[in-house]
Structure 1
Amino acid sequence: MAQKTGGNARSRLHRIGSLFSNQYGRSTRTEGSGLEVTVVDTVREVGRDQWNGIVDRSSRGSVFHRYEWLDAIERGLEYTPKHLVVTKDGNTIGCMPNFVVGIEKTPFDRLSSLYPGFGGPLLPTDTDESLERVLEEVPNRCRGKTIVHQIRGLDMSYLRYNDALQSHGYRPYRRECRFLLDLTKGHDEIRADMSRSRRRGIEHGLDVDYEIVEEEITRENLRRFHRTYERVMDRVGGDVYPFSFFERLQPMAERLLLLTIRIDGEYAGGMLEVLDTEQDSVHGFFAAVPREYFDDHASELLYDHVFQWGIENGYETYDFGSTNTDFEDGVFRFKEGFGGRAVPVLVWERGCSPLWPLVKAGRALYWPYYT
């Protein structure tokens, strides 16, 4: 069973030498401080224990910063990694994961920390100087078709870096939001705070002959879920992550919750949740319920089940994932109906090429609310 284990306990940081600074990419050293910033071309160059040690030490560390999530992106999505690692006197003290991903509707790329998921720098010690060195190194990683660096912070705590980021040319924009549901108030109050339509959906669904099962994270179960997920995303015109990404998530099975709903004995879809024990949150990253089960309220039943699961396993929030900020959008209204609190997704962008202002201006033509 995928359960929260260990709470907020921080494991001991495993130290590593900086010998890879001379083996991989370019490193920068600050004279007299002992600080070096190195780019590594895969998280595997650093190693699981060393990388996750930084995540465990940082108050802003999340499941999306962890070695296993980054490795799944590298191997399953084949995005080009450009991870920055900070060392001091031979000891690893910070990092910022980055991937090169395409900019929508253009031939150009962006360097993103982090996508998919949420990233940003993890600098638990020597923060001021480490942040300065990391931000100075970023333009060296944006060359050719890569014309902008983007940071997607997980929560409001990343506002602490806003002034430093803007002083280095980063500009915020707000095109996405997330709905966060407070699980600590208990299931009865969560139900009471839902919209009438969400409550009625759950009530009507309870009259259906249904069963919700927590599945093992096996290749077969992931494949079945992915087939339905692919159908649903094709119908709504969304981007589809390949099965190779889901398959590469298996090493982090203890941080995944795969739910299946059966109605009248037939498979009716499911949800793949990402468990963020660092931040005491359950992330609703992937949902797949075919249209033919909408009238049975399969989605409402799954969400209601995972809320109860999160409460029983000690999580504090349920995160519905990113959505646009248009109150007339159906996905926005559906998530809003569960009673969660809307919070902005914190994103900063820094142009690293003379082409960036042109691309940004063109982007505003098809995303009029982009700032």
Structure 2
Amino acid sequence: MACQVRILQPSDQDKWDAYVNGSPYGTIFHRTGWRHALEAVFPYRSMYLAAYDGEKLCGCLPLFHVKSVIAGQALLSVPFGVGGGLCAESPEVVACLLEHVRALAHDLQVEYVELRHGHNHWHLDLPSKSDLYVNFERPIDPDVEANMAAIPRKQRRMIRQGSKYGFTSTLDGKEALPDFYRVYAHSVRNLGTPVFPYRYFVALMDAFPDEARILSVWHEGARVAGVLTFFFRDRVMPYYGGAYKAYYAHAVNDFMYWELMRIACERGYRRFDFGRSKRGTGPYEFKRHWGFAPVPLEYHYLLCRRKTIPNISPSNTKFQPFIALWKRLPQSVANAVGPWLIRYFP
């Protein structure tokens, strides 16, 4: 194979997206919509590497040049994505893409390259990290009641508790963003995490008009919880979610995710991707109690000017005082500072 790697040109964007949609390794994070959303909001420079065999696209690697005061300069695939990394037809194409990445990293003098493909199908001989993040997903049965029966008894009781309390749900578009953002900002402040800019969610909804929706939970006429969700190929992916703390006691989160699973089932989706969580955290235990089995996510690194894999995860003990402080900030302060700060934790 005569593999050639080129920077993706605007004229080939449709070809790129078609390749991603048809590849077993393609994710929504590989799509050019992710590029459009991030570049509209964050000061990242994208370099989408396309591998060709003649004029036939045979592999792709989305990269973003990120400058962080925490870990220095890096090439990431991709920022704020659970997935990304290499998407290719063969080990030969993978080798071709990696050779190009190494040259690019050298030219840009970055500290490291992070590839978030989450697996090692190509048996890469690269430094990796698989002990921090896991992913949770399982098939969606075509029968709604079979999906309910597959949920452990305690969580089924929690779902029914939410229904009895009077929660209802709707699947919404951009019109839900103002209410959703208020709920989401409240939730992440309580976790000690900086909030994304509002315009990031607008950009995501614009970049993925057919795939991005917001599942809203209502109580007495008010949105009290919501999750921005991607519907990609045969899977549903709840991605950014939150709820007002006052409704936790009424199992609002259990109700919300069940409603999303039910709607996805009724619309013919076949996999429920519950997403990434850090081991030993509350979200990790929540998903496990739903009967989902954790699968380690393996991220690979090219270490350039660094000698060790960086750790900018909130689990890093040096961030704990900051997280504790952030939880105590007034909501208005967190909303003002968070959108500027989050760019350094991609």
TM-score in terms of structure 2 length: 0.82
The C-alpha deviation readout for 1:222-276, integer Å capped at 9, x for no partner, is 2321222112111111242222221112241210221111112222121111112
Letter in 2 for 1:264: E
Aligned position for 1:16: none
The C-alpha deviation readout for 1:105-133, integer Å capped at 9, x for no partner, is 82413322223221122223xx2332211
Letter in 2 for 1:214: L
Letter in 2 for 1:356: K
Among 204, 228, 245, the residue aligned to 2:200: 245
Task: Provide the secondary structure at the position in 2 that maps to 1:142.
Answer: helix
What is the distance in 1 between the residues matched to 2:315 and 2:307? 12
Task: Provide the secondary structure at the position in 1 that maps to 2:210.
Answer: helix
- The alpha-carbon distance between structure 1 residues 38 and 356, as it changes in their structure 2 partners (threshold 3 A), is farther
Note the C-alpha offset of 1:185. Answer: 6.8
What is the distance in 1 between the residues matched to 2:214 and 2:316? 39
What is the distance in 2 between the residues matched to 1:243 and 1:59? 32
Q: 8 Å contact 1:55–1:61 — kept in the other structure?
A: yes
Among 293, 317, 322, the residue aligned to 1:341: 293
Among 152, 163, 168, the residue aligned to 1:206: 163
Note the C-alpha offset of 1:283. Answer: 0.8
Note the C-alpha offset of 1:148. Answer: 1.2
Letter in 1 for 2:226: G
Aligned position for 2:94: 131
Aligned position for 2:239: 285
**Structure 2 segments unaligned to the other structure (5+ residues):** 319-346
Letter in 2 for 1:129: E
Task: Provide the secondary structure at the position in 1 that maps to 2:294.
Answer: strand
Task: Provide the secondary structure at the position in 2 that maps to 1:71.
Answer: helix
**Structure 1 segments unaligned to the other structure (5+ residues):** 1-32
RMSD across aligned positions (CA): 2.7
What is the distance in 2 between the residues matched to 1:186 and 1:115? 36
What is the distance in 1 between the residues matched to 2:278 and 2:67? 19
TM-score in terms of structure 1 length: 0.76
Note the C-alpha offset of 1:96. Answer: 0.6
After TM superposition, what 4+ stretches of structure 1 lie above 4 angstroms from structure 2? Answer: none
Q: 8 Å contact 1:181–1:339 — kept in the other structure?
A: no
Number of positions where the alignment pairs a residue of Structure 1 with one of Structure 2: 315
Note the C-alpha offset of 1:145. Answer: 6.1
What is the distance in 2 between the residues matched to 1:307 and 1:201? 15
Note the C-alpha offset of 1:188. Answer: 3.0
- Are 1:304 and 2:258 matched, yes or no? yes
Q: 8 Å contact 1:76–1:247 — kept in the other structure?
A: no
1:164-179 alignment to 2 at 5 Å? 165-166=124-125, 169-179=126-136
What is the distance in 1 between the residues matched to 2:13 and 2:310? 37
Task: Provide the secondary structure at the position in 1 that maps to 2:290.
Answer: coil
% identity of equivalent residues:
22
